Structure 1
Amino acid sequence: MKLVIFLLYLIVFLTCSLANAESKKVLIVETLPVPIVTTHTQYISAELSRLNMDIEIEIYNGDGQSERIANHISKKLTCNCVDLVITNGTLASKMGKRVLKGKRIPMVFVTVADPHGAGLVPDKNSPDLNFITGTIYSVKRGTKFEIANQLLKGKQTDIGIVATTYPSALTDIAKLESISNKYKNINLVKRLVDYRDGNDKDLTDTYLQANEAVASIQPEVDFYWSVNGPFSEKQSFVPEISKVKPVLYGANVNSVMQGALFTVIPDVQSTAEQVAQIVSSIFSGESPHRIAVKPAPRSIVAFNVKTATQLGIVIPYDLLSIAGDNIFQ
């Protein structure tokens, strides 16, 4: 009888303990409400739910304003309302690093093309960064150029790049310029606009100046190429730019659906699985600085065959087979 009573008490105790156990609180901070960011948030949230971890997820959109992002993270720290922060985009990640420094709150970054350039990846002599890890949003630029050159059949081509001075855009452009030196038939024409994010008006002015820059180089180029960054991620980018000159390379699959000829990007589902596993490992006790920062294991290739036909470009069968279902018209 005593054994039965003891077991009943034990069951009640364990049940109450489980009921009272607090869920882990995860804050996902988005840099901007653009497809690359919101789609990753959607997939990451779904993957975290699929793993059936006991977590509460809050999603915050920073609207491209650095201080707004920093203030929200600070508020969550003040009320002890966050156990882990997922920063989605370079700007959110840089602000997260600044606010979380020394707070011992893990941070996992995503959709960041150049973690080293953004100062996110810790070096051996920076213990204060040991609570940061993440995934690199990157596909070799040489792969993109090789596909472009194959589609253009080595024809002399002038490609226009218009971007803001957003960190990931500058990184992408620098690497493209370096690789383009190997292709004597491809000439890059670039125009940069200062990225200002103090308020909504600053952002609007930034994008208006970028559109003006697109028009300014129209006589000099055959195509436009969109690089990583908020300007190329705007829904209106491909439709508006295509009125001036065709878009050879789009920043995402949606841009190809809208008329850009092709894209090569990290697979969002693969990235989400990678991020969810990182979060799971951290909550299981692994230190973030022991988790390697690397790209997602899979990529997506997409083509718009209607655009190819209009341009008189034949997409080789081997490239179409790689694209699979990501062929649009």
Structure 2
Amino acid sequence: MAFLNTDSWESEVQRALFEVFRNELQKLGYTDGKNLVIERRAAEGRIERLDQLANELIAEKPDVVVAVATPAIAAARRATATIPIVMWGAGDAVALGLINSLAHPGGNLTGVATMFSDTTGKSLELLHSILPAATRVAVLGSPIPARKRQFEETEAAAKILGLETIPIFTFSRNDLGQAFERMVQEKCDALLVLAAPIEPQIVLLAARTKIPAVYQISAFVDLGGLASYGASLAVMGKQTAQYTAKIFQGAKPAELPVQQPVAFELALNLKTAAALGLKIPAEVIGRADKVIE
């Protein structure tokens, strides 16, 4: 099988998530190095590399391609219309034309959707609960089609909460320093980081500029981020492995409904809150699934 990752293999977070996937496959009877060979490629956050990497993997004629995050999924779909593709974390796959519908995907794709667009409002509500005095919120993300709805949902939620959003676009990790400089210039009170490859530099820059940041992926909180709300990537990894096993056993992607996340997690880092001089309300701490003290 082939495995295409938008992010990097070098980070501890990505290695841990891959182990979740591989261990679940092993429980289902497929052991890497015994009755399974996994060819891996990673774009290191450079989306422009994905088409080349996808074509390299397809040239190996794998039985299944697992693609992580929408940019990798789209690249895999451009590379093949016949080899089954299992999506680990698809965002707005219907709107992007990758599948016909969640219930009847059609074609050669199935897998697990992220629902990050649907939960963006909840992430912004979390930010507002922690920082009720914040009025100007930077929204960090990439201006690619896959992120369009996330920005739209953020804007809609911000209007309800009476917040002003300042979109901050980045094309690669090289743009992050300039992005945070702009947040400071714009006098942003807080930052919402839309779901994207897990980039530790974002956490470091948020700490350096003392901008409280809320994320959609809990791995950022493990790295020192303030707070997050969103689907559990680890649980999605298990779901992805289960679908991969089904395809090994003869199931057709077109007939496997795309799954929605089954677990959402609220994570808090109280050490980071203290460093920022913030006191997270007790009711927010009481709702948290993970608290780093």
By how many angstroms is 1:295 displaced? Answer: 2.4
Aligned pairs for 1:241-260 within 5 A: 241-260=206-225
By how many angstroms is 1:27 displaced? Answer: 0.7
Query: What number of residue pairs does the alignment pair up?
Result: 283
Aligned pairs for 1:29-178 within 5 A: 29-33=4-8, 37-53=14-30, 54-65=35-46, 68-80=49-61, 82-101=62-81, 104-123=82-101, 130-139=107-116, 140-153=119-132, 155-178=133-156
Note closer, same or farther for the CA distance 1:240–1:75 as it changes in structure 2 (3 Å cut): closer
2:218 maps to amino acid: V
By how many angstroms is 1:65 displaced? Answer: 4.7
By how many angstroms is 1:67 displaced? Answer: 6.2
Larger radius of gyration: 1
1:257-290, Cα deviation, whole Å (9 max, x unpaired): 4443210122233212211221122222222122
Note closer, same or farther for the CA distance 1:254–1:283 as it changes in structure 2 (3 Å cut): closer
1:321 maps to amino acid: G
1:59 maps to amino acid: R
1:52-78, Cα deviation, whole Å (9 max, x unpaired): 134322222233455643344434444
Taking structure 2 as the reference length, the TM-score comes to 0.84
Q: Does the CA-based 8 Å contact 1:90-1:118 persist in structure 2?
A: no
Distance in 1 (alpha carbons) for counterparts of 2:56 and 2:147 = 30
Secondary structure of the structure 2 residue equivalent to 1:108: strand
Q: 1:181 aligns with which of 139, 145, 159?
A: 159
Note closer, same or farther for the CA distance 1:66–1:215 as it changes in structure 2 (3 Å cut): closer
Q: Does the CA-based 8 Å contact 2:123-2:230 persist in structure 1?
A: no
By how many angstroms is 1:319 displaced? Answer: 3.1
1:72-115, Cα deviation, whole Å (9 max, x unpaired): 443444453x10000112221111001112xx211011133322
By how many angstroms is 1:222 displaced? Answer: 1.0
Q: Does the CA-based 8 Å contact 2:123-2:215 persist in structure 1?
A: no
Instruction: State the match for 1:11 in structure 2.
Output: none
Q: 1:190 aligns with which of 159, 167, 181?
A: 167
Instruction: State the match for 1:278 in structure 2.
Output: 243
Note closer, same or farther for the CA distance 1:209–1:59 as it changes in structure 2 (3 Å cut): closer
Instruction: State the match for 1:328 in structure 2.
Output: 292
What residue ranges of structure 2 are gaps of 5+ in the alignment?
A: none
By how many angstroms is 1:167 displaced? Answer: 4.0
Note closer, same or farther for the CA distance 1:168–1:211 as it changes in structure 2 (3 Å cut): farther
Q: Does the CA-based 8 Å contact 1:30-1:89 persist in structure 2?
A: yes
Taking structure 1 as the reference length, the TM-score comes to 0.76
1:198-226, Cα deviation, whole Å (9 max, x unpaired): xxxxxxxx433332132123142112221
Secondary structure of the structure 2 residue equivalent to 1:165: coil
Note closer, same or farther for the CA distance 1:85–1:60 as it changes in structure 2 (3 Å cut): same
Distance in 1 (alpha carbons) for counterparts of 2:237 and 2:167 = 33
Q: Does the CA-based 8 Å contact 2:71-2:146 persist in structure 1?
A: no
Note closer, same or farther for the CA distance 1:208–1:31 as it changes in structure 2 (3 Å cut): closer
- The structure showing larger relative contact order (alpha-carbon pairs under 8 Å, at least 6 residues apart) is 2
Secondary structure of the structure 1 residue equivalent to 2:200: coil
2:39 maps to amino acid: E
Q: Does the CA-based 8 Å contact 2:121-2:157 persist in structure 1?
A: yes
Q: Does the CA-based 8 Å contact 2:206-2:213 persist in structure 1?
A: no
What residue ranges of structure 1 are gaps of 5+ in the alignment?
A: 1-25, 196-205
Note closer, same or farther for the CA distance 1:67–1:213 as it changes in structure 2 (3 Å cut): closer
Secondary structure of the structure 1 residue equivalent to 2:166: strand
